[in-house]
Amino acid sequence: MNSGVPLLKVLLVDDEPYIRKGLAALIDWEAEGCFIAGEASDGNGAIRLLQQQEYDIIISDIRMPEMDGIELITSVKERKLSKARFIFLSGFYDFSYAKSAIQCGCCDYIIKPVNKSELLEAIRRIQEGFQKELGSERKNQDYEKAYLDSHLTSIIWGKYDSVNIKYVQDRMQLSNEITYIHCEISLGDKGFLALSVDKKREQQRRLYNLASMLMKKYANHVVYDITKNTESYDIGIIYCPPMAKERGMSQDDWMNWLLKELTSRMGYEIIGCAGSKVNGITAVADSYRDAVLIRSLRYYKKSDLKYARHDKNQGLSKYQREEDFRKQMDSMIHSIEINDKVKIKTSSGEIYRGLTDRRISVETINHDIQYLMYRLLGLAYNQDTDIDQDEIIQYVRDAIFRLKTNHGNELKFQQFAEEYSDYLTHLRQNTAKGMMHMIEAEIEEKYAENISLKYLGEKYFINSAYLGQVFKKQYGCSFKDYLNKVRIRKAAQMMLRTNMKVYEIALEVGYKNIEYFVNKFEEVYEMTPTRFRKRSMQNNNVS
């Protein structure tokens, strides 16, 4: 199945629950491009479901109480409730029933007990019909949704204009109150982590499709891969209160319901983080930044909760324990922003002592630390909205959370504040392009050595966190991945030009672990080093 094509929604109708369960387990529905989206015990129940949402395939028993299968399809056709294709099931062969079913427009008639191959054939025939009749229409819908996602992404990132706003408002059911919700496959799920990158991206697309179907008429509120982070397999959701109210739920209950459904259907743990409530779609960027911050903090704390959210009554407004200490923190943050090293030195000491005061409750100190992290992230974001927010949070929290351990002291905290101030200065100066040519040459020459971002940053007088950002922008990958590619390229040249053994080449280009070297080589050339050398020799013999 093409993971980019929406799954067909299937409605099972049978008065025997075990029959419905058996049908759901009989075949791999997703592999056939389908999804069990609803179940009913009779025709009346099916009618109620059809009034709530559209289905593509209805698999129904013919004989049922209240309203049987023939009455169901007749009612659906007469009332034009659905364009779904029907497959009828019957426990006995009765030609009159089969004839009536065919006359009413069913696509197939299968005798119970249902044979797997017969059901597969019927499903695949319907799939082929959909591809022929609705192929171009669905393609257009996919293109329109992708175009809507691009407009939404611009607004979520705070880079929008009136055209973006109008396009989104015309196509979404928005309310005055909006919350951005970050939703992703948990990186703590060992089964998911064992997948290849391509397979992980397929699962991310599945998450997007399933969330869209579960949200029914609010499917347009789901956005694919909003963070554009290589280590996040996520979707974004533009939440509006009517979504929960229509189900008689609170926002928390609704989100927990959605995460539970997605986790069950995906087979992987799905987690979510909600930002602050904002007024209107034009302010959703603020909610997005809150959600990203909360995601970062929860990963640091290794939270077991599947759902976390920003709350104005429990969130940033309570990160101060007293007004004068908040002012002191704001003063230090301003010193960092303008790169005033003298004020940084004095103010950082005051803040350090305040954040390590054992007379203050742990909860209050946590709030103060999180507030400081949030503000520092904001300084970087204001300089460059394209920064990798997760990476900056990692850099900031690694320094600040040392305050809660025995490894931190006042001097180290001051050094961090000064380094972060230098980082912001580098963002403003934007002088990285010329410097990168020198760094490229450095890597080409010293690729086999224990070279690192810290080493390069110290040599070229640039903040290592900022240098990491530059690598991602300029090369589309992390520094580590860039270095690996250079090493593997050098190794491939040695494989072709020398008689050195594989383990000797691995050591020569900087790998001490031969297994790790082979894995990295396969990632680049899709074959082992030995196979690479043999194939090259065979090609030379042919020529």
Q: Where are the chain's structural domains?
A: 8-134, 172-311, 317-429, 481-542
**Are residues 456 and 450 in contact, defined by beta-carbon separation less than 8 angstroms?**
no
b/e sequence 221-245, b meaning 16+ C-beta within 10 Å: bbbbbbbebeebbbbbbbbbbebbe
Q: Look at domain 172-311 and name its CATH class.
A: alpha beta
> Rounded to 5 degrees, what are φ and ψ at 301?
-80, -5
Task: Give the model's pLDDT for residue 52.
Answer: 85
Q: Whose structure tokens read 């009136």?
A: 162
Neighbours of 163 (CB within 10 A): 10
Task: Give the model's pLDDT for residue 504.
Answer: 92
Architecture of the domain made up of 8-134: 3-Layer(aba) Sandwich (3.40)
Topology adopted by domain 481-542: Arc Repressor Mutant, subunit A (1.10.10)
Task: Give the model's pLDDT for residue 542.
Answer: 41
| Distance from C-alpha of 417 to C-alpha of 432, rounded to nearest angstrom | 22
| Distance from C-alpha of 42 to C-alpha of 72, rounded to nearest angstrom | 9
Please tell me the pTM assigned to this model: 0.47
- Beta-sheet strands, E only, within 152-192: 177-185
Query: What's the token pair of residue 58?
Result: 């209805």
Task: Give the model's pLDDT for residue 314.
Answer: 42
Q: Is 177 helix (H, G, I), strand (E, B) or coil?
A: strand
Task: Give the model's pLDDT for residue 462.
Answer: 74
Render each residue's pLDDT in the chain as its tens digit; 543 residues.
Answer: 444 456 788 999 998 888 898 998 898 888 788 889 899 999 999 999 998 888 989 999 888 888 888 888 888 888 888 888 898 888 755 556 666 666 666 777 888 888 888 899 888 888 887 776 655 555 566 667 778 888 888 898 888 888 889 988 888 888 889 999 999 998 888 899 889 888 898 899 899 988 988 888 888 899 988 876 556 789 999 999 999 999 899 988 999 999 999 998 899 999 988 888 889 998 888 888 778 767 765 544 444 456 666 554 444 333 334 566 777 888 888 888 888 888 888 888 888 887 777 666 666 777 777 778 878 887 777 666 666 667 777 777 777 666 654 445 778 888 888 888 888 877 765 545 556 767 887 888 889 998 888 888 887 767 777 788 878 877 888 889 999 999 999 999 898 888 899 999 999 999 989 889 999 999 888 889 988 888 877 655 443
Neighbours of 378 (CB within 10 A): 14
